[in-house]
Every structure is written in structure tokens, then in C-alpha cells.
Structure 1
Amino acid sequence: MRIVIAPDSFKESLSSKEVINTISNAFISEISDLTIIEVPMADGGEGTAETLIEATGGYFVEKDVLDPLGRKTKARYGITGDGKRCIIEMASCCGLSLLKPEERNPSITTTFGLGELIRDGLTKGVREFIIGIGGSATNDAGGGMLQALGFGLKDKEGKEVGFGGYELERVESIDFTKIDNNLKDARFLIACDVDNPMVGENGASYVYGPQKGADIQMVEKLDKALVKFSKVIKKVTGMDVSNIPGTGAAGGIGAAFLSFLNAKLMPGFEIVSEFHHLEEKIKESDLVITGEGKTDHQTKFGKVVSGVSKIAKRHNKPVICISGSYTEDATILYDYGITAIFSCIHQPDNLENIMKNARKNLNLTALNVAKMIKFLSKKGEEPPEYL
């Protein structure tokens, strides 16, 4: 029997690799004729870099960069084991988590730190980048990132503008003369799970500005600045990015990646699944096991469990979901290809104990699932006929 184990991490308790090891050990203890294909997954958000670097035997690089408010902070990025790809989580240098609630202010926050990480990767010879852009504290359309990479954002007097969303309204021209030469050979895949345009009522400022600290007056001014910057982009590149789906992601940084760095925007799950050749592995399997910390109706929106199950459904493979917990509305996932869902919570308990005992509880659930499959196999039928 060939089993693909492709879970997300159990947030704040187990990495995807630890989830795989726990499930794998439980199955090996019960089923002798077994081939396990391990595929640690992520959806492009928090934990994506760790998942991909661990899976490839890569390593992390730590660097001093500017945080969203222009203060020095330590951030890290990963380089895959073959040395060819750089994995960056934008939140590590430009994230909301780096700011106190009272410090949130997208009129002044910058993406400069992300540009510093990219530039450092370029100096190490890396030319392929995978960047997760979730959790940002910024609304500068990647202006700070561009500045760090050598793009000159000039005002009407030819002077460099400052940091933050408001400063975009002052940009009149873009100077390309000091761009990092290594960029010409670089390729970027951007994990983008939203389709918001750059500007307008469904754009970066109106939809995501409030959670980054913007009131309605600030939102209006930020959107006006993005409109102005989009016109400058069109003037210098010929590309109208103002209403392209995804350009409103992470405070408009999708627009900068598309127009200046020739990037490709893709859902995070698709990037990670292609990285691992997940579909090919599922196609050759007999059974797929996935899971996450909590499975509910939101899981269907681009999360690992729904992505894995959709691929499995295309190839008529049964899928067992083993999650920390699941809600009643998670049963909608049966329509997406999930065969059965199992919870790791076996008795009432507080969250602290549940998190502390995550590995033990996961092992117990996986063991029970393995015993069930073993029993069904002994009945003379392959598990897929029963599940």
C-alpha cells in the first residue's frame, strides 16, 4: 500500500514534518506492507519557509533589516538544499506581528526590509525566489522594497521620497539607473491568495487598511496615493496594474512584483504543491492523509486540506483528514473529496493542555485510523473500496 501523507502544520504545536512523523510511525507500527510518501505542506502563509527549507535540507540566513517603521530588526529567509531557491515570508520583516497595536500606521510603514532580504539572497547567487506575502503591516505598494533594490522613487524635484503609503502620492518618476544588476536574471513566485485589485473599494487600502491601523480618512488618502502610483507605473512600464486581480495583496505589493520584477502571482497552496510535485505523488498512491490544526468551513478557501483533497478527487483517491479538531460545518469538505475527518481531541480539556499533548493525541488518533485500515485490508479488500 502506498500512502501519501500531506498535512499542514498544527499551528503553535506541531510542524507539518512533525505531524508526518507522528502519523507515519503510527501506521508503520500497524501495517507491514507499507510505502509512505512524505509531503510536508503549507499554504503560503506562516510556516511556509520552514516547511520548504526543512523538506529540502536547506538552511536559514539571518540578517539585520529595517522593520515596518524603519527600525533595525533581525529577520531571516531560507535557502533550499540545492542552493537554487530563496524562500521568504514577508511577515518576518514587514509583518503586523512586529508592531504593537498602537504602532500600526500604514501611512508610514515600509516594505524596505523585504527588499533587503531579496538583495541579500541575490548576493548569495540565488536567482529563484518564492515569497509569501501574508500578514503585512504595509500599504506602500512595495515602494520600500523597490527602493531597497535600487529603484529610485523621485518627486517632482527629482529627490527620493520617504517611506510609507502616503509618500506614494509624491512619486512623479522612477529612476532605473541604480537597480541591482542581479535582478535581470531573477525569477519570483509570489504566494498570493487574494484577488483584490490595487485600488478602489475592493482594493488594498479599503479592504485591508483598517486591520493595519487605518481609519476611514487614512484609507481614503492611502487609496488616492495608490491611484497616483499606479499612474506612474503605467507611465514608466506601460502596464496598468490598478485593477489586475491580486495587485492589492499585501498593501499593493502585488503591483510592484508584477510591473517591475516580472513576477508570477499564484495561490500559496499551488506553489507548495508544485514544489513537491504533489499531484504526481497522489496519482500513484492508494490513500492520502492530510490534516491541520483546526478544520472548519474556512478550510475550503485555499487551505492545505481542501487543496490536497481536490487533487485526490481528480484521481479518485480516498482522503482521510486527521486534524487537531473540526467543527460541524467542516462536513462541507466531503463535497471537495474528503472521505472522512478525525479529531485528535479525545476528552474535554483546556487549550494549554491540548497544545502540550498534541503529539500524543495525534499519535492515538493515527493509531486508531491505522488499525481500521489494517482490519479492512484483512477482509480481503483494499482500503479504498471501504473508505
Structure 2
Amino acid sequence: MKITVAMDSFKGSLTSTEAGEAVKRGILRAVPDAEVTVIPLADGGEGTIDAIAPYIKSCRRELVVTGPLGDPVTAYYIYEPASKTAYIEMAKASGLTLVPAERRDVYRATSYGTGELMKDAIDHGAERLVICIGGSATNDGGAGMLQALGARLTDKDGNDIRAGAIGLKDLDRVDLSRCDGRVPEITVASDVTNPLCGPDGASHVYGPQKGATYEMAEEMDGWLRSFAALTGKDPFEEGTGAAGGMSFALKNFLNARIRSGAEIVIEATGAESLIRDCDVVVTGEGRMDSQTLNGKAPYRIMELGKRYGKVVAGITGILGEGWEACIDAGFNSVTPLIEPSMDREKALRSVEDTAAQVFAGYGT
């Protein structure tokens, strides 16, 4: 029996590879003669470039950039010389995990460091950028990133606006004339379809996890609307609300194309050919619910499995509201962990035990 395992990360406890290898161990306990292949999975958020790196001939470039709250952080991106493509992960420079919970300040968090990574890649010859934008701490509409590339965002007195979403409150003019003219072809890797503004926009949907109250989200939504109006851009366009509006800036100011992050990883890892040639597919993530069907990585894997008529088993940390929709969409089963845990070692054991339980019937 051939089994392909493509697990997304269990945020806060297990990486994609750790979860996948734990599933493999569980499967082999139940079905010792199974042929199990583990491939990493990501959707544009944390871990995306690490998932891609083993499958392309790339080098890693590390540098110190401006962190979300202005403190220096060490970040890196990967560069594929053959295609002159740099893969940049926003979470490495402007990520929520870089800010301790007690210091989260969505008003001040800036995307400037991600812009610095982009500029460095351009300086080193990149002609294509793939920007993976999940897991950000920011809600600045990509303003910091634009400033790092040379754009001037000023208030009514001609002064540069403050860093973070709060700067948009005073924004009066956007001048791209000094923006780096070498900006290459850009692809945004994202699994988010939310617009920039409105009840489903960046501020209201993702602001709370970055420390925003409802009142703060309302304020920031208004500032982002003004930003869009000032530049004549549509604040309700699908997909522009990712990473606090980073996708809005990349698409509307730098002509970026927005693509599914999961699909980019699937292409890089050769997942489709493995799934086509196997018997069973296993996928999942820390939480599976009705939102899993909104283009998330496990859903993309399930779609591939069903395209080739495979059994697709889901393994998840916990089941969220509306998880039954996953079964209706095509998953043959969705199984929560026997013992969910944020502790890495406990989570590893639980994933292994759960996989062994799921495949117990396959060995008889």
C-alpha cells in the first residue's frame, strides 16, 4: 500500500515535517509493510519557504532587518539562481511570532522589514519575487514595505507618516516616484480571500489575533479605507486583505499577482505526481472546521486526492465548528487527536497514536 502524507503545521507545536513524520510512524505501527512518503505542506504562512527549500536548488540569505515593532531581527529568504527567484516569507521579518503576547501592538506593527528583504533580494539580482504573506503582526496596508522600497508616504505637512497602522491615520499623499525602479515580477502566496476593508476585511477578521479590540479594528478599517480612496484603489477586492493589507499594496502598487500559497508549495514539492500514484492520502492541520474549505492547504490536497480517486484521511489537532463540511466536501474521514496538546513532545506522540488508530483496520 502506498500512502502519501502531506500535513500542514500544527501552529505553536509542530512543523509540517514533524507532523508528517509522526503520522508516518503511526501508519507503520499499524501497517508495517506500507510505503509511506512524507511531503511538507504550507499555504503561504509560517514555514512556507522551509517547505519549498529542499525541492529547489536554492541558497539561503540571512540579514538583520527591522522587526514588527522596530527592533532589529535576523531574518532570511531563499534564492534560486537558475530562475533568479527569491522566496520571501513575511513571517520571518514581520511575523506575529516575533512579538511576545504582552507586547503586541497592532497600531505600531510595521511591514518595513519585509520590504527590506525584498530590496536585498533585488540588490542581489532577483528578477522574480514570491512573497509568502501569512502570519504577519501587521495591519499597515503594506505601507512599511513600500517605504522600505523608497516610496514616500507623508502627512499634510509633508512629513513621513509614523510606522504601523497608526501612520495611515495621518496619511495625505503617496509618492511612488522614488520607489525602487528595479522591482521585478512579484507573486503573492496567500490562502486568504478577504478584502482589505469591511466586516470581512483585514482589521475585523485578523486584527483581534494581533491585539486589536473591536473599537481598534473599526478605526483601522477606516484608515485603510482612506488609504484606498486616496490612491483610487478598490478596498473591497477579494484577496487584498491578507497580512493586514500587504496583498493590497503588493497588487495595486507593485503589480503583483495573487496565487494560492498551497498550490505554489504543491507545485514545488511534486505532490500531484505522488498523490496520483498512491492509494491513500493523509492531510490535516492543527484545527479543521468549515474554514478549511476556504482554500487552505489540506483542502487543496484533498481536491487533488479526489481528482485521482484516492481515499483521503484528515488528521487534526481539534475539530472546529462546521468540520462536518469537510466530509461533505470529499474527505473520507477527519479524526481529531486522541490527546490534543501544545507541548511538542506530547503532540508528536498523540499524532502518532492517532494515525495508528486511523490505519488499524488497514493492516488486517
TM-score (norm 2): 0.82
What is the count of residue pairs matched by the alignment? 363
**Residues 1:85 and 1:243: Cα distance change in structure 2 (over 3 Å):** same
2:194 corresponds in structure 1 to 195
1:168 correspondence with 2:168: yes
**Maintained 8 Å contact 1:322/1:344:** yes
Greater displacement, 107-116 / 23-32:
23-32
Q: 1:120 to 1:308 in 2, by over 3 A?
A: same
* CA distance in structure 2 between the aligned counterparts of 1:101 and 1:291, rounded to whole angstroms: 26
Q: Which amino acid aligns with 2:109?
A: T
Q: What value does the CA root-mean-square deviation take over the aligned residues?
A: 3.5
Instruction: Give 1:53 deviation, angstroms.
Output: 2.0
C-alpha deviation, 1:331, in angstroms = 4.6
Letter aligned with residue 318 of structure 1: V
Distance 1:195 1:61, change over 3 A: same
| Counterpart check, 1:373 vs 2:352 | no
Partner of 2:68: 68
SS of equivalent to 1:269: helix
Paired residue type of 1:283: R
Counterpart pick for 2:280 among 256, 281, 287: 287
> Would the aligned equivalents of 2:285 and 2:316 in 1 still touch at CA under 8 Å?
yes
Residue from 325, 328, 335 that aligns with 2:328: 335
Question: Given that residues 31 and 370 in structure 1 are in contact (C-alpha distance below 8 angstroms), is that contact kept between their aligned partners in structure 2?
Answer: no
Deviation, 1:40, is: 1.4
Q: Which residue of 2 aligns with 1:131?
A: 131
Deviation at residue 361 of structure 1 after TM alignment: 5.0
Q: Which residue of 1 aligns with 2:229?
A: 231
Letter aligned with residue 310 of structure 2: K
Question: 1-side partners of 2:340 and 2:2: how far apart?
Answer: 37
Structure 1 letter corresponding to 2:194 = D
Q: Does 1:255 align with 2:248?
A: yes
Tell me what 2:185 maps to. Answer: 186
Partner Cα separation in structure 2 for residue 223 and residue 7 of structure 1: 34
Partner amino acid, structure 2, of 1:226: L
Deviation at 1:169, TM superposition (A): 4.5
Equivalence for 1:383: none
Q: What residue is the counterpart of 1:320 in the other structure?
A: 313
Conserved? CA contact 1:233–1:259, under 8 Å: no
Within 1, Cα distance between the matches of 2:324 and 2:116? 44
The one-letter code of the counterpart of 1:45 is G
Between the aligned partners of 1:39 and 1:81, the Cα distance in structure 2 is: 23
1:15 equivalenced with 2:4 (yes/no): no
1:379 corresponds to: none
Summarize the Cα distance change of 1:193–1:199 in structure 2 as closer, same or farther, 3 Å threshold: closer
Shift of 1:191: 1.0
Distance 1:173 1:71, change over 3 A: same
- The answer on 1:222 being equivalent to 2:215 is no
2:152 aligns with: 152
Distance 1:14 1:161, change over 3 A: closer
Equivalent residue for 1:272?
265
What residue ranges of structure 1 are gaps of 5+ in the alignment?
Answer: 235-239, 376-387
Question: SS state of the match for residue 46, structure 1?
Answer: coil
Match of 1:310 in 2: 303
Residues in 2 aligned to 1:45 and 1:200: alpha-carbon distance in whole angstroms: 23
**C-alpha deviations, 1:98-134, integer Å up to 9, x for none?**
3344544433332111101111122232333333323
- Is the Cα contact below 8 Å between 1:246 and 1:265 reproduced in 2? yes
Partner of 1:112: 112
- 2:52 is matched with 52
Secondary structure at the aligned position of 1:6 is classed as strand
1:343-354 to 2 correspondences below 5 Å: 345=338, 351=341
Which residue pairs with 1:88 in the alignment? 88
Q: Which structure is higher in RCO with an 8 Å CA cutoff and minimum separation 6?
A: 2
Assess if the C-alpha contact under 8 Å between 2:131 and 2:186 holds in 1.
no
Unaligned runs of 5+ in 2: none
Task: Calculate percent identity across the aligned residue pairs.
Answer: 36
The 1:333/1:218 distance shift into structure 2, 3 A limit, reads closer
The CA distance in 2 between the partners of 1:216 and 1:192, in whole Å, is 24
Query: Equivalents in 1 of 2:354, 2:213: separation in Å?
Result: 46
Residues 36 and 81 of structure 1: CA distance in aligned 2, closer, same or farther (over 3 Å): farther
Summarize deviations over 1:198-249 as a string: whole Å, max 9, x none.
2344433344444434455544443333233213322xxxxx2222122222
Q: SS of the counterpart of 1:78?
A: strand
CA distance in 2, matches of 1:25, 1:55: 23
Q: Residue 166 of structure 1 contacts residue 221 of structure 1 at CA under 8 Å; is this kept in 2?
A: no
Larger mean Cα displacement after TM superposition, 140-149 or 18-27: 18-27
Deviation at 1:278, TM superposition (A): 3.3
CA distance in 1 between counterparts of 2:191 and 2:298 reads: 17
